[in-house]
Amino acid sequence: MPENHEDWGFSTRALHVGQGPDPETGAVVQPIHMATTYAQQGVGRHKGFEYSRTGNPTRNALEECLAALEGAKHCLAFASGLGAETTLMLLLNPGDHVVYMEDVYGGTFRLFDKVLKRFGMEFSAIDASDLDVVERSMTSRTRMLWLESPTNPLLRVVDIDAVSEIAHSHGAMVCVDNTFATPYLQQPLHLGADVVVHSATKYIGGHSDVVGGAVMTNRDDLEKQLRFHQNAVGAVPSPFDCWLLLRGVKTLALRVERQSENAMAIANSLARHSAVKRVYYPGFETNAQRAVAAKQMRMFGGMVSFEVADEATALRTLERLKIFALAESLGAVESLAEHPARMTHASIPAAERARAGVGDGLIRLSVGVEDVGDLIADLERALS
């Protein structure tokens, strides 16, 4: 790896950090190291690898590359976003209190509510876009503030810099799930966060063909504990999955630029449609945190949500789409559409969903890289 990669632009790092011509063969693409174990010259004398759960050269390459993209000192790769989240949360202890943004991915809520609460951790859901609410939610036992920004599915934006200052003044660490923004659009560690989490299944992979996760941090103390847990818990990605993620990430900037442009055009077109009650897009004038989004994001991202009259209208619209696939997940080159209340956020009880503002008439779009005119025409036809 070149030594001066800190000076490189984002895409140069995406293509070259952790990778590069193989010193033995000259291959310009990172090899897939499938070996589960490594021969030792004598007990404990080896070339840096012993057993593939503990360390694998293809995974190392991915971790180096993703660390460089997020502007982080350390990255640890996992078998899924939730594998990354679970391993991270195991740093906490029974009795520890976690404050989290109320509008998060349903699977994150399920992990907190149905799994970690059983082990004595306590969770409070808040609107972290309101700084007074963040301040009031901190207790002497609060160890972590957990954010998504933009959130899933309402695309609310949190001022990462401001909330990090509040959390740190109470001795709590800040974790940002940066899945929706991607490291290309937003780098939370530079805004004061202690840890970043990704579902790499989404924009990092980018092609709907690999499930993965990652945790990044600049803190050596956290890296040491996380590295221990990565091995002790074992939710590691396969070498082939690491290779697919490395291949996907090379075009992250290109894809996200096109997706952001397409999403902005779609948000504008939906806002003019008589069947649409409300559009949620961080770059949209109606978004209360547009100024914060503009301050901390390079562009506004490829996700758009909107409300139609009711559930029946939402389901009918989704079934009539032809280019947008009716599917969970997001961040891929092809456009996807889904119904959060019945799909990605169904694990959140109806009352809590309603409190967070995730209504039955809500549709979430993951805008791909297709020709935007075709996407707008698809939506208009489905809404007619």
Q: Which of residues 205-224 bind ligand P1T (CB under 6 A)?
A: 211, 213
Under the binding rule (CB under 6 A), the answer on residue 178 touching ligand P1T is: no
Quick one: which segment of 100-108, 182-190, 268-276, 301-309 binds ligand P1T (CB under 6 A)?
Answer: 100-108
User: Residues 64, 148, 159, 378: which binds ligand P1T (CB under 6 A)?
Assistant: 148
Q: Which two tokens stand for residue 374?
A: 């075709």
- Give whole-number Cα distances, 37 to 32, 97, 126, 370, in Å: 14, 39, 46, 43
Buried b / exposed e across 189-216, counting CB within 10 Å, b at 16+? bebbbbbbbbbbbbbbbbebebbbbbbb
Residue 117 annotated as catalytic: no
Residue 177 annotated as catalytic: yes
Under the binding rule (CB under 6 A), the answer on residue 80 touching ligand P1T is: yes
Under the binding rule (CB under 6 A), the answer on residue 201 touching ligand P1T is: yes
Burial of 39 (0-12, 13-18, 19+ CB in 10 A): exposed
Burial of 326 (0-12, 13-18, 19+ CB in 10 A): middle
Task: With CA atoms as reference, report the closest residue to 303 among 117, 155, 92.
Answer: 155
User: Residues 196, 269, 344, 360: which binds ligand P1T (CB under 6 A)?
Assistant: 344
Residue 202 annotated as catalytic: yes
Peptide bond into 153 cis (omega under 30): yes
Which CB atom, from 138 or from 249, has the smaller least distance to ligand P1T?
A: 249
Q: Whole-angstrom Cα distance, residue 225 to residue 194? A: 14
Task: With CA atoms as reference, report the closest residue to 63 among 229, 185, 212, 175.
Answer: 212
Residue 53 annotated as catalytic: yes
Whether the CA torsion 140, 144, 150, 153 is positive or negative: it is negative
Which CB atom, from 142 or from 366, has the smaller least distance to ligand P1T?
A: 366
Quick one: which segment of 47-55, 65-73, 172-180, 288-296 binds ligand P1T (CB under 6 A)?
Answer: 172-180
Give CA angle at 156 (152, 159), nearest 5°: 120
Under the binding rule (CB under 6 A), the answer on residue 335 touching ligand P1T is: no
Q: Whole-angstrom Cα distance, residue 126 to residue 128? A: 6
Which CB atom, from 177 or from 223, has the smaller least distance to ligand P1T?
A: 177
User: Residues 182, 199, 230, 259: which binds ligand P1T (CB under 6 A)?
Assistant: 199
User: Residues 52, 87, 164, 179: which binds ligand P1T (CB under 6 A)?
Assistant: 179
Under the binding rule (CB under 6 A), the answer on residue 107 touching ligand P1T is: yes
Active-site residue, selected from the candidate residues 103, 159, 177, 360: 177
* Minimum distance, C-beta of residue 105 to ligand P1T, in the bound complex (Å): 4
Under the binding rule (CB under 6 A), the answer on residue 329 touching ligand P1T is: yes
User: What amino acid positions are annotated as catalytic residues?
Assistant: 53, 105, 177, 202
Q: Which residues bind ligand P1T (CB under 6 A)?
A: 80-82, 105, 107-108, 148, 152, 177, 179-180, 199, 201, 211, 213, 328-330, 344
